[in-house]
Amino acid sequence: MKCPYCNAEDTKVIDSRPAEESNSIRRRRQCESCGRRFTTYEKIETIPVMVIKKDNNREPYDRSKIESGILRACHKRPVSIHQINELVDEIENIIFNREEKEIKSSEIGEIVMDKLKDLEEVAYVRFASVYREFKDVSTFLEELEKLRK
């Protein structure tokens, strides 16, 4: 583990504990060279989940795909990177807690929409319009109307 301040190779762990978010360990480290301290998070590896796509092809689950979809939907909205990370953590937990090795991409989309709905209205509608491929303005408005209730 390299020191983020001086790039020295030798750092030692001074404290480890489970992080607040599940599945990760927080480690406090100290650089042997400059003495500065920093924190790292280690994700515990989970069983690989395969995603079944619309065309029935399978590909390994990829967190960054969910992340980039949400980032795009949140473009210029008052949502912080921290909130997005938390949201992806929540979504990921739901996916892994199903304890099934496969999940349809459409199911992931539904979970994302469900979570985004509570976070940011505009981001939700954007995501849903891309995801559900709204065919016309009326479907889009219907979705907005549902949200207002």
Binding residues (CB under 5 A) for Zn ion: these are 3, 5-6, 8, 31, 33-34
Give the shortest CB-5-to-Zn ion separation in angstroms.
5
* Closest CB 2 distance from Zn ion, rounded Å: 8
**Cβ-based nearer residue to Zn ion, 6 or 13:** 6
Our CB check for Zn ion shows the closer of 6 and 147 to be: 6
CA 34 – CA 32 distance, rounded (Å): 6
| Smallest separation (angstroms) from Zn ion to the CB of 19 | 23
Closer to Zn ion by CB, 6 or 130: give it.
6
